[in-house]
């Protein structure tokens, strides 16, 4: 029995390889040099391209399009601001405290970064190490287990650390328990490219069926997204992009790429610049290949034509990181697209809530009436009319 199965598999592989070899040889004999390879590449691209998830899941997460009939009739359902890392400027990023900060201000959409630890647990963390958050010396959490880092204060260097004392790392499962109980939608940004994080994300969705309608998964690497969605096509996926992501750690339109990753090693830096150029040409095709339902664009790489391109394909376009009030107004009023922001300050909905809360608290005391009476009395006694 085993020999028969082995013979069948061997024969199948042999015939497939023979067919491909004959097919390519025929193309080479008929077509000009290179065209055959191009046609084969196009065929492979379309044959391996993934199918999109259920559109109802996409609508549940990202809401209606602003220009759609539903978006016009129900503007409150249109997604505008997504709290990047849980509004990392306002509260220690990627922590349960940050998530609570967002919920308390009626922000029902957050973005999280996820990594794996040595023991396989998924933790909310953007950087590979903890130096920036703690001022410590841990350079790679992949070498640490949960018990060894769970009590480290990751808000030690935050500007608002006096408001958030003894803030600790948060596991993904704990974050999901809190967010789903408050019906908060989320974008899970996968950091790392190992099988452990891929399997962890797949297991997380499999164990929480309602997560499909509340969470999208994004990554800069389309091959990671492809592996995740190939095994579970119902997961809503997104591709993140910014120029010069291979060669530089930072980028903005005014200064261009800065803080090179390997600036002291010129050959490697030059090779990465070539990779950046190829990436700029191919990332849109890669996003469509993985059937991404959304793209997360660096704000300085976005334009009305870019947003229109993705909107015409039925793909949501989200900007990051949009922090200044004028930038937010531009994305809301001109591009009419959602954006990731590190701060909830300046958000119209948040400011309106603060104003309502302020008026509500004032109406509960006799102060306003007394102030008006005293002001009138003051004018009368001073001769003012």
* Distance of alpha carbon 197 from alpha carbon 14, whole angstroms: 35
Give φ, ψ of 178 to 5 degrees.
-70, -45
Q: What is the pLDDT of residues 322-337, one digit of tens each?
A: 999 999 999 999 999 9
Residues 27 and 120 in one domain: no
Question: What is the pTM assigned to this prediction?
Answer: 0.83
Unique residue bearing structure tokens 């959409």: 109
pLDDT score at 381: 37
* Distance of alpha carbon 304 from alpha carbon 222, whole angstroms: 24
What number of other Cβ atoms are within 10 A of residue 183's Cβ? 10
pLDDT score at 45: 81
pLDDT score at 134: 93
The residue range of the domain holding 365 is 347-385
Cis peptide before 321 (omega within 30 of 0): yes
What number of other Cβ atoms are within 10 A of residue 44's Cβ? 10
Assigned domain for 170 exists: yes
Tokens for 219?
Answer: 């990554």
Specify the length of the chain in residues.
Answer: 385
Strand partners, 110: 83, 186
Give φ, ψ of 90 to 5 degrees.
-90, -35
Q: Is residue 8 packed enough to be buried (19+ CB in 10 Å), middle (13-18) or exposed (0-12)? A: exposed
Is 362 in contact with 368 (CB distance < 8 Å)?
yes
Residues 355 and 340 in one domain: no
* Distance of alpha carbon 133 from alpha carbon 127, whole angstroms: 9
Q: What is the DSSP letter of 140?
A: -
pLDDT score at 369: 40
Q: Where are the beta strands (DSSP E) in the chain?
A: 81-84, 109-116, 122-124, 185-190, 215-219, 236-241, 248-252, 256-260, 294-298, 316-320, 339-341
Q: Give how far Cα 267 sits from Cα of 245, 247, 263, Å.
A: 17, 11, 9
* Distance of alpha carbon 151 from alpha carbon 260, whole angstroms: 33
Assigned domain for 121 exists: yes
Assigned domain for 193 exists: yes
Residues 217 and 207 in one domain: yes
Assigned domain for 283 exists: no
Residues 209 and 97 in one domain: yes
The candidate with the shortest Cα–Cα distance to 309, out of 273, 275, 284, 276, is 284
Residues 91 and 81 in one domain: yes
DSSP 64-79: S-TTSHHHHH-GGGS-
* Distance of alpha carbon 315 from alpha carbon 334, whole angstroms: 18
* Distance of alpha carbon 82 from alpha carbon 141, whole angstroms: 27
Containing 354, the helix (H) or strand (E) segment is helix 348-363
Residues 184 and 309 in one domain: yes
**CATH code: domain of residue 216:** 3.20.20.190
Q: How many domains does the chain have?
A: 3
* Distance of alpha carbon 91 from alpha carbon 155, whole angstroms: 8
Residues 167 and 184 in one domain: yes
Strand partners, 116: 122
Radius of gyration of the chain (CA): 26
Give Cα 143 distance to the centre of its chain: 25
Assigned domain for 271 exists: no
pLDDT score at 115: 96
Assigned domain for 25 exists: yes
Residues 40 and 98 in one domain: no
Residues 150 and 196 in one domain: yes
Residues 132 and 196 in one domain: yes
Assigned domain for 7 exists: yes
Q: Where are the beta strands (DSSP E) in 97-243?
A: 109-116, 122-124, 185-190, 215-219, 236-241
* Distance of alpha carbon 232 from alpha carbon 200, whole angstroms: 13
* Spans in the chain with pLDDT lower than 70: 1-38, 40, 351-385
pLDDT score at 263: 81
* Distance of alpha carbon 353 from alpha carbon 326, whole angstroms: 20
pLDDT score at 348: 78
The candidate with the shortest Cα–Cα distance to 108, out of 329, 310, 347, is 347
Assigned domain for 257 exists: no
Strand partners, 216: 187, 236
Residues 152 and 236 in one domain: yes
Q: Can you say whether residue 375 is alpha, beta or left, with left for phi > 0 and alpha for psi between -120 and 50 degrees?
A: alpha
Residues 351 and 334 in one domain: no
């Amino acid at each position: 029995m085993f020999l028969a199965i082995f013979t069948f598999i061997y024969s199948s592989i042999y015939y497939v390889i023979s067919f491909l070899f004959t097919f390519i040889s025929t193309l080479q004999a008929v077509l000009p040099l290179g065209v055959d390879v191009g046609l084969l590449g196009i065929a492979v691209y379309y044959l391996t391209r993934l199918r999109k998830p259920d559109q109802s899941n996409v609508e549940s997460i990202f809401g209606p399009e602003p220009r759609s009939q539903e978006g016009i009739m129900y503007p409150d359902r249109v997604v505008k601001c997504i709290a990047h890392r849980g509004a990392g400027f306002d509260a220690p990023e990627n922590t349960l405290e940050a998530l609570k900060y967002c919920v308390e201000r009626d922000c029902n959409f957050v973005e999280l970064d996820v990594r794996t630890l040595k023991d396989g647990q998924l933790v909310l963390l953007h950087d590979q190490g903890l130096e920036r958050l703690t001022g410590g010396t841990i350079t790679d959490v992949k070498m640490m287990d949960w018990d060894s880092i769970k009590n480290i204060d990751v808000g030690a260097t935050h500007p608002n650390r006096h408001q958030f004392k003894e803030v600790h790392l948060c596991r993904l499962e704990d974050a999901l328990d809190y967010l789903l109980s408050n019906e908060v939608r989320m974008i899970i940004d996968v950091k790392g490219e190992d099988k452990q994080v891929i399997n962890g994300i797949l297991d997380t969705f499999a164990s929480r069926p309602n997560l499909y309608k509340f969470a999208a998964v994004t990554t800069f690497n389309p091959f990671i997204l492809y592996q995740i969605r190939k095994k579970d096509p119902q997961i809503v996926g997104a591709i993140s992009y910014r120029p010069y992501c291979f060669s530089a750690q930072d980028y903005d339109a005014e200064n261009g790429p800065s803080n090179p990753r390997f600036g002291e090693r010129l050959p490697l830096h030059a090779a990465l610049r070539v990779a950046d150029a190829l990436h700029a040409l191919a990332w849109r095709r890669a996003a469509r290949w993985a059937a991404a339902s959304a793209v997360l664009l660096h704000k300085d790489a976005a334009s009305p034509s870019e947003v229109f391109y993705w909107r015409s394909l039925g793909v949501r376009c989200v900007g990051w990181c949009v922090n200044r009030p004028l930038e937010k107004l531009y994305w809301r009023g001109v591009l009419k697209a959602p954006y990731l922001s590190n701060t909830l300050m300046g958000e119209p909905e948040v400011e309106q809530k603060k104003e309502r809360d302020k008026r509500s608290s004032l109406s509960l005391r006799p102060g306003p009436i007394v102030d008006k009476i005293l002001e009138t009395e003051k004018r009368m006694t001073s001769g003012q009319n």
